[in-house]
Homo-oligomer: A and B are copies of this chain.
Amino acid sequence: MRITIIGSGNVATHLAAAFKNAGHRIVQVYSRNMQHAALLAYHVKAEPLDDLIQIDPETDIFVIAVKDDAIGIMAEQLEPHQKLMVHTSGATDLYALLAFADNVGVFYPLQTFSKTREVNFRNVPICIEAADKNIAKELRELAQTVSNSVYDIDSKQRRILHLAAVFANNFPNYLYTMAQQILTQQGLDIDLIRPLILETAEKVQTGLPAAMQTGPAIRHDQNTMDNHLQLLQDNPDLQQLYTLLSQGIIKMDIDPHGDK
């Protein structure tokens, strides 16, 4: 397909590379910032632009990978070309595009992307939604050229998925940060817990997380929990977080596996 990328951030960068690697042609890359557009365009052999006036109408699809609040603005300006348009946002309904055109869909890659980190796109789940069955088929086929995991997910489900992703990614990463902070304050190295962080995530790649729960809370080990709260005495925010998370784990009320 001939693909036009609107945006030059993390999602735009990884999607453009995945499309290019799958044999598609990236026609143009748009960004408000010409340097950003040029950098990504260079990597995927496309033409950069920073003004939608210069858009090449000879394309099959506009892939809008910009901040959520700019999706509608882009859609409004691209609508006159009457091409297929998709956005890539987990937090935005299909309606954000349907308000401007009929030939629209969603192409949401459910992964956390950094520009400097390679991702094996074939493992990235791609969530498809479309205004009609023909568009859905077209998007599904496009998604299958870059990923082995393609799902039909409507806007309501995508909202749930985005919420779950916050619990699976944003919040654990914050807890890693707190763990590091606890170590650093005592002169200890984050390397001590990096293997633990990785193994915790690897364990749930096959099993269910509830079955993997270990630690003082699931063992109802009040003595250890009290000791931990004592160690956090100078940090009431972390004490509150420790208590709330531990109470949640205690409420899980499953057979503890223990961590011995």
Contact = CB atoms under 8 A, between A and B. Distances in A.
Interface of A: 7, 9-12, 65-68, 91, 110-114, 117, 119, 123-125, 127, 149, 151, 153, 156-157, 159-180, 182-183, 186, 188, 190-205, 208-210, 212-218, 221, 224, 227-228, 231-232, 237, 240-242, 244-245, 248-249, 251-252, 257-260
Contacts of A179: 164-165, 167-168
A122 to B, nearest CB: 10
A173 B113 contact: no
6 contacts: A10-B259, A91-B224, A113-B259, A114-B212, A168-B179, A174-B249
B248 A159 contact: no
B195 A110 contact: yes
A257 B63 CA distance: 21
A192 B160 CA distance: 12
Given A170-B214, A192-B151, A193-B165, A182 B160 contact: yes
Contact of A123 (B160, B195, B214, B221): B195
A184 to B, nearest CB: 10
Given A125-B191, A161-B188, A260-B9, A213 B244 contact: no
Closest 8 CB pairs of A and B: A170-B215, A201-B201, A176-B209, A167-B179, A172-B172, A9-B260, A168-B179, A164-B179
A169 to B, nearest CB: 5
